[in-house]
Amino acid sequence: MTSVAVLGMGLMGRAAAGRLAALGQSVVAWNRSPAALAELPTTDRLSVTTDLASAIAPAERVVLWLADGAAIRSVLLDGAIGSQLAGKTVVQMGTIAPEESRSIATDLAALGVDYYEAPVLGSIPELSAGKLLLMVGATPAQFDRERAWLQTFGPEPLLVGPVGAAAALKLAMNQLIGSLTTAFAASLALVEREGIEIETFLQILRPSALYAPTFDKKLQRMLDRDFDRPNFPTKHLLKDLDLFNQAATAQGIDTAPVQAVRAVVQRAIALGLGNTDYSALFAAIAPEGAEPERTL
C-alpha cells in the first residue's frame, strides 16, 4: 500500500488527499494551521497532522499543493526537514514559476530527493472523478516509473519536458483562464445591457470557432452574480497571472494584453471578491448599478 504525505490543505489539496485515501493509499494530510485540517474527514486510510516531520516520515511520496514557490521553500528547504526527505519522491502539483521549480529541483536533488512536477488543468470536480489533465515535468525514467500513480488523478498524464516545462505550460493555461473569462464577461455584459436575448447570443457563439466550453460553465454564475463556492478563487488567478507575466517578460514576450486582464482581476479583488470564484470578473467588468440611462 502506497504511503503518501499531502502537504497543503487548500481546496485542491483536500480533494487530492481524499481521493488518494478513497483509492486505498495510506495518506497523511498536513497543513501549517489546523483550521483547514478540521474540514477533512479522517478514516483508517487518512490521518491529519500539523507536525510536518510526522507527516513526512512514513511517506514514499510527498505531494505538494502549497500556495507558491516561497511556501515550498519555507516548508521543505528553510529548516531541518530537508534531511528527512532523502530517498523520497517529491511531486509538485501546484502552480509555481518554471525557474522556481528548477531551483527547487536542484536544491532537493542535493539532499538525495527525487523531484518532479505535475501541475494540473481542472478543478475539484475533475479531481474527484480522476479526470484531471496532468502536465508532467520530469525525466523519461521518472515519468515511466510514476505514470501509473499519476493516473490516480487523470487517465492520460502527459510528459511535456524536463522540470520547468510543465510549470511554464500550466502558467500558459491559467493565463487563458483569465483572458477567456475576461473576454466572455465583456461580450456577455454588452449583450445583456443591449437587451439581446442571452440564448440568441449563445446560439450564434456555440457553433462558432469563437466558443470555449468554459463560457457555458461560467455563464449562469455571471448572470446570477453568484460567485460563492469557488473551485478556483479570484485571488489565486491574480497570483498566477503575476507568475505568467514574470516568466513571459524573462522570455522577451510583450505582456500588455495580460496586464490588462490583471487590472480586471485586481478590480474584482478590490470589490471584496478575492475569495470567490473567478467568474467574479464579470462584476468588475459590469458593476451593478452602472447601467446607462437610455434616451430616445
pLDDT tens per residue, range 118-151: 999 999 999 999 999 999 999 999 999 999 999 9
Using 50, 70 and 90 to split pLDDT, how confident is the model at 39? confident
Mean pLDDT over residues 10-23, rounded? 96
Output the pLDDT for position 294.
58
Among candidate residues 161, 177, 194, the one where a domain is terminated: 161
Domain check: are 272 and 173 in the same one?
yes
* Same domain as 139, residue 55: yes
Q: Which of 161, 182, 214 finishes a domain?
A: 161
Match 478543478 to its residue by C-alpha cell: 123
Fill in the amino acid letter for 13.
G
pTM (predicted TM-score): 0.95
52 with 127, same domain: the answer is: yes
Q: DSSP letters of 130-156?
A: T--EEEEES-HHHHHHHHHHHTTT-S-
Give the confidence band of 254 by pLDDT, cuts at 50, 70, 90: very high
What local confidence, expressed as pLDDT, does residue 1 receive? Answer: 64
Query: Is residue 142 within 8 Å of 115, Cβ to Cβ?
Result: no
Residues 69 and 178 in one domain: no
CA distances from 174 to 45, 63, 200 (A): 33, 21, 29
Per the structure, the complete domain to which residue 99 belongs is given by 3-161
Q: Cell 495518506 belongs to which residue? A: 27
pLDDT of residue 2: 83
Percentage of the chain modeled with pLDDT above 70:
97
Q: Examine the domain organization and report whether 184 and 146 are in the same domain.
A: no
The angle at the Cα of 277, spanning 66 to 199, to the nearest 5 degrees, equals 145
Q: Is residue 295 part of a domain?
A: no
The rounded mean pLDDT for the chain is 96
- Domains in the chain, number: 2
Q: What local confidence, expressed as pLDDT, does residue 107 receive?
A: 97
CATH code of the domain covering residue 104: 3.40.50.720
CA distance 179 to 168: 17
Taking residue 132's Cβ as centre, other Cβ atoms within 10 Å add up to 27
In this predicted structure, what is the pLDDT of residue 78?
A: 83
pLDDT of residue 277: 98
- The reply to whether 17 falls in a domain is yes
144 and 179 in one domain? Answer: no
Choose one of 111, 132, 161: the last residue of a domain: 161
Tens of pLDDT, residues 181-205: 999 999 999 999 999 999 999 999 9
Q: Are residues 195 and 92 part of one domain?
A: no
